[in-house]
Structure 1
Amino acid sequence: MRIFLQQRPVAGEPPKYYQIVLEQDLLGGWVLMREWGQPGQRSSAKREVFLDRKDAVNALEKARDSQVKRGFQVMFAQGADDPRRA
């Protein structure tokens, strides 16, 4: 699953983005990767590993909901389940 969120740009600055990706690893676990920043500038990232898919999906939804509350809008969503529900 992948979700790409973006904030409206502030005058003279590029828009901020937040990307959340959930993938299964080779050992059957689940990796939740988050990346945020502004295009063309240094970004930050965080990676979490989950043994259970349900826990990983819950973490993805919690991260998405948290960013929506901060003013980000879902621009793109891809995956088996529709993670755009907010």
Structure 2
Amino acid sequence: MNADEAKNSSLEELLKKLSSNKMGISSSQAQKRLQEYGPNEISEKKVNPILKFFKYFWGPMPWLIEVAIILSAVIQHWADLVILRK
């Protein structure tokens, strides 16, 4: 069952499709579903903190600032260079 089917179904239809009732499922049914489908969890994606830091410098805005810093140095606008570096 996908999300659209679930949104367009009544409570009784959902309970029937999920083989459940208003009281829930039994412990043995829960254990069986846990073995069949696995735990109901979203795995957390581990991100290297160093890569996360460098990712802040990747993209159009950081590139624009870096180009502006280089151009300020080339045309010797030192005040702009200092402001852009901060």
TM-score, normalised with respect to structure 2? 0.26
Greater Rg over alpha carbons, structure: 2
Higher strand share: 1
TM-score, normalised with respect to structure 1? 0.26
Higher helix share: 2
